[in-house]
């Protein structure tokens, strides 16, 4: 029997940080007002608002509010309110969630980080999420 462990991104990041891995600064917001406060506290010129929904393809998904994409870069605390208010309490529909969608109860507000990301796959790298779904053990 195989059981998969599903963690929200913010929990995964906390585990990495506890293991000594450097991660972007950020916190979880359960309301647009919290997203505003976190954005102000981070003091960065741009922050990323990420829907915390247990589904892949969040960046390509659509919210029932009409917002396209569950990962957005904003450039002000006011932008954080605007984007998070279209995510929190709304269903996100992705390829993985299907027509049922999944409710977004919180967002991760973190500093934008530009750096290299390495993903290895013996099956190619185009549409890596599709490749991973078809051959789950083929990525490093």
**Element housing 18 (H / E):** helix 9-18
pLDDT at 138 (0 to 100): 65
Torsion over CA of 91, 58, 11 and 136, rounded to 10 degrees? Answer: 120
The domain ranges of the chain are 9-134
What's the whole-number mean pLDDT along residues 72-97? Answer: 97
Q: Does position 125 have pLDDT exceeding 90, yes or no?
A: no
Q: What is the DSSP string of 26-42?
A: EEEESSHHHHHHHHHHH
Distance CA 51, CA 29 (A): 10
Q: What is the pTM of this model?
A: 0.80
Output the average pLDDT for the chain. 89
The runs of H, that is alpha helices, within 43-115 are 77-85
What CATH superfamily classification does 9-134 receive?
A: ATP-grasp fold, A domain (3.30.1490.20)
Q: Which of 45, 46, 49 minimizes the C-alpha distance to 28?
A: 49
Cα radius of gyration rounded to whole Å, the chain: 16
pLDDT at 40 (0 to 100): 97
């Amino acid at each position: 029997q195989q059981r998969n462990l599903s963690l929200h991104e913010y929990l995964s990041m906390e585990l990495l940080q506890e293991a000594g891995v450097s991660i972007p600064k950020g916190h979880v917001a359960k309301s647009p007002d919290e997203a505003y406060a976190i954005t102000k506290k981070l003091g960065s010129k741009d922050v990323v608002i990420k829907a915390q929904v247990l589904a892949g393809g969040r960046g390509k998904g659509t919210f029932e509010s009409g917002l396209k994409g569950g990962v957005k870069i904003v450039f002000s605390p006011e932008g954080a309110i605007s984007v998070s208010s279209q995510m929190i309490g709304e269903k996100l529909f992705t390829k993985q969630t299907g027509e049922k969608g999944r409710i977004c109860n919180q967002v991760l507000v973190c500093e934008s980080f530009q750096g290299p990301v390495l993903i290895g796959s013996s099956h190619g790298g185009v549409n890596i999420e599709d490749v991973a779904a078809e051959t789950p053990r083929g990525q490093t």
